């Protein structure tokens, strides 16, 4: 990896125009509307009174797979998505224009043969220039240890508390869930085509990690925010294992003080944790 080029890289701002169809398609990719007579989820999938799911911010104004560009020298085939978070500063509109500003905040070198951890941030602004959301991603560069470090990584939440959860939400996924979710912008073939999925070490296509995060968002909105998206103001997850479309995602919620909830998600069928160290803030 060419450390200086990664450190000094300046991203061009990204403008993203989206309408009610994009907002509805994103929600459908998370399974909203699975019960056609449930009025609580209708506002996320119906244009009359449409509301945006807060996690929509993670797919807006994406800069593309910049790490694949040869000038950075990153072993991009070995990149893993490690963590994701967002903080909402102003309620997301159901349609409009946002501008994404990107920067690489830090790189943690774990040593030769041990990989590196890259921290990047996206700041979404509306047409007035107001900050709408701050979105952070952590990438594990498995093939790029020993190249050096820079910056100060943001602090991350600790482990989820032991004991029985205060609430549990089971949300099944469809066998074609990844084929729907990919229409929101992530066209990596390992989520659609069995051949690339097998080449990546999976016996069939896997669900997008950000889709799993969105399903956890759906669970938190249902269990702790009364399906009022403005009440969910921040969220953090660590991706621990992939989900296969068709599995049921079980979100275990642990209430803390001052509107903080901790959570983890499991695959019900395999009884493995797929999202860990979950942290969210619910207001109101």
Whether 191 is catalytic is yes
pLDDT tens profile 52-61: 999 999 999 9
Measured CA distances, 146 to 104, 111, 115, 143 (Å):
18, 4, 7, 9
Instruction: Report how far residue 94's alpha carbon sits from residue 27's, in angstroms, rounded to the nearest whole number.
Output: 11
pTM: 0.95
Average pLDDT estimate for 52-73: 93
Helices (H), the chain: 3-8, 20-29, 177-181, 194-199, 209-224
Domain 167-282 fold is: Thiol Ester Dehydrase; Chain A (3.10.129)
- Which residue in the list 145, 209, 214, 278 is annotated as catalytic? 209
| Residue 213, φ and ψ in degrees, nearest 5 | -60, -40
pLDDT at 151: 96
pLDDT at 139: 94
Instruction: Report how far residue 235's alpha carbon sits from residue 54's, in angstroms, rounded to the nearest whole number.
Output: 9
Residues 6 or more apart whose Cβ sits within 8 Å of residue 237: 83, 84, 85, 212, 213, 216, 265, 275, 276, 277, 278
pLDDT tens profile 140-186: 998 999 999 999 999 999 999 999 999 999 999 999 999 999 999 99
Whether 130 is catalytic is no
Give percent of the chain above pLDDT 90.
Answer: 92
- The distance from CA 235 to its chain's CA centroid, rounded to whole angstroms, is 9
Give percent of the chain above pLDDT 70.
Answer: 100
Domain 3-141 fold is: Thiol Ester Dehydrase; Chain A (3.10.129)
Q: Look at residue 54 and give its three-state secondary structure.
A: helix
Neighbours of 145 (CB within 10 A): 18
- Which residue in the list 119, 191, 208, 279 is annotated as catalytic? 191
Positions of CATH 3.10.129.10 in the chain: 3-141, 167-282
- Which residue in the list 24, 190, 206, 282 is annotated as catalytic? 206
- Which residue in the list 22, 109, 144, 186 is annotated as catalytic? 186
Structural tokens at position 9? 């890289």
pLDDT tens profile 242-256: 999 999 999 999 999
Q: How much is the mean pLDDT over the chain?
A: 96
């Amino acid at each position: 990896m060419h450390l200086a080029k990664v450190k000094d890289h300046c991203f061009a701002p990204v403008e993203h125009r989206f309408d009610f169809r994009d907002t509805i398609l994103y929600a459908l990719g998370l399974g909203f509307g699975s019960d056609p007579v449930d009025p609580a989820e209708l506002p996320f999938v119906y244009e009359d009174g449409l509301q945006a799911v807060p996690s929509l911010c993670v797919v807006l104004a994406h800069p593309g797979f910049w790490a694949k560009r040869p000038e950075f020298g990153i072993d991009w085939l070995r990149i893993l998505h490690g963590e994701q978070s967002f903080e909402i500063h102003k309620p997301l509109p159901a349609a409009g224009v946002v501008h994404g500003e990107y920067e690489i905040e830090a790189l943690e070198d774990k040593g030769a043969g041990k990989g590196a951890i890259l921290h990047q941030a996206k700041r979404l602004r509306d047409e007035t220039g107001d900050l709408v959301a701050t979105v952070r991603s952590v990438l594990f560069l498995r093939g790029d240890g020993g190249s050096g470090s820079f910056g100060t990584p943001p602090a991350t939440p600790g482990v989820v508390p032991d004991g029985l959860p205060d609430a549990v939400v089971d949300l099944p996924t469809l066998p074609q869930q990844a084929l729907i979710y990919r229409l929101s912008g992530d066209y990596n073939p390992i989520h659609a085509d069995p051949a690339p999925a097998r080449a990546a070490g999976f016996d069939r296509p896997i669900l997008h990690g950000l889709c799993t995060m969105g399903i956890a968002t759906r669970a938190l909105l249902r269990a702790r925010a009364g399906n009022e998206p403005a009440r969910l103001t921040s969220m953090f997850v660590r991706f621990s294992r992939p989900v296969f479309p068709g599995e049921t995602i079980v979100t275990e919620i642990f209430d803390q003080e001052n509107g903080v909830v901790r959570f983890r998600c499991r695959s019900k069928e395999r009884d493995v944790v797929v999202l860990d160290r979950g942290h969210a803030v619910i207001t109101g």
